[in-house]
Amino acid sequence: MVKIEANTDRSFLINGIPYQKGQYEISPLSDETQIKIVRVGSDTLLTKAALVDWVDAGDSPFADFAAFVLYTEPFFFRSVAGGGGGSVNSVTGDGVSGTATDVILTFPTSNEVDNDSLIPGANVTIALNELGVATSDNATDIGNNTTAIGTNTSDISTLQTNNTGVNTGDETTLSIQTKRPLKTVNLQSLEGVGNITISGFDPAAEGVLTDYIDSQNNNQQTTNAVFPNLTTYLTLVSTGIDISSDYRFELSFSISINTTNRNAVVDIKDFGVSILPQVYSVEFKDITSRKWVTIGGRITPNPLGAGQIQLQLDFGSDQAATTTMYFANISLQKIN
């Protein structure tokens, strides 16, 4: 059974694992008997199962595909207000017709606008009269106003070239780049209301990667070690780890092996325990070539590590051969 249920305003759960709302979509078979969940805009598969094998938060199956779509709509479609799933519940009012699933909106023409609203309708004379302006006076009033407009041009010019105030129009690229958003604004001289605080960018609330650390080694090292007794090439140690959060690790390295039809072996461990589902092997047909490899994944801190992660990169071969490591880098980032 595949269980799908709500989690937070930003994520939903599939079998207890959180996934971000709005990043996935439903891709059913033509007969709607099997449902696939894929990344939006791609065929990257998240999971798939027959419709009868999907259950809701109460472990109840869905009566049909329409029931499944109705239940999961908040997970796969963002609301117009942003920030997670949701939908418009209803649209009512004049000019609304159609059905609940096929709403039709119609708008009045200019002749249908109520003149009492002070919105000009099709009749210009009526519209001007509503504003208290006689049609016969329009030309004279507009002609007389040109003098005032002409006088104001000097004031506008002065404002555009003003270099003495703080709100000038002559900002340069350098002056803009050297400024930062304000955290506190003093309005004492303007309204007498004291200080107000404007929230700055909060990376944790925005769900970005934080607490980035890395470790690298570019010293060439060779070994004749054979799996599982590998040689350690690089170690990354991070303290103060939040055991309630997951972390993303990324490993890049350059490696070669001097014997054809042999495999160079790489393993990454936390406190000596492998965190990969299996060791990574690299087979070479040309002993003069080097292989550049990048591996990434998610790691859940071990509570027994007492707030510490120790990632180590071990290397060697699957049979008797000489393996050479030229460079490696391990990075670790907290996932909020």
**Ramachandran area for residue 132 (φ above 0: left; ψ -120 to 50: alpha; else beta):** left
For the chain, give the mean pLDDT. 75
Can you give the pTM of this predicted structure?
0.39
Q: How far apart are the first and last CA of the chain?
A: 29
Say whether pLDDT at 319 is over 70.
Answer: yes
**314-315-317-318 Cα dihedral, nearest 10 degrees:** 30
Higher pLDDT, 309 or 198: 309
Q: Check if the beta carbon of residue 300 is closer than 8 Å to that of residue 293.
A: no
Which helix (H) or strand (E) segment is 62 a member of? none
Residues 39 and 123 in one domain: no
In a domain, residue 97? The reply is: no
The DSSP 8-state label assigned to residue 301 in this structure reads: P
Q: Which domain holds residue 315?
A: 209-335
Q: Check if the beta carbon of residue 62 is closer than 8 Å to that of residue 53.
A: no
Residues 67 and 107 in one domain: no
Tell me, what's the pLDDT at 74? Answer: 87
The tokens of 212 are what? 């980035």
Q: In this predicted model, what pLDDT tens digit does every residue of 136-190 receive, in sequence order? A: 655 555 555 555 555 566 666 655 555 555 555 566 666 665 665 555 555 554 5
Sign of the four-CA dihedral 231, 237, 241, 246: negative
Tell me, what's the pLDDT at 82? Answer: 40
Q: Check if the beta carbon of residue 292 is closer than 8 Å to that of residue 200.
A: no
Residues 16 and 114 in one domain: no
Residues 252 and 300 in one domain: yes
Tell me, what's the pLDDT at 292? Answer: 86
What is the number of structural domains in the chain? Answer: 3
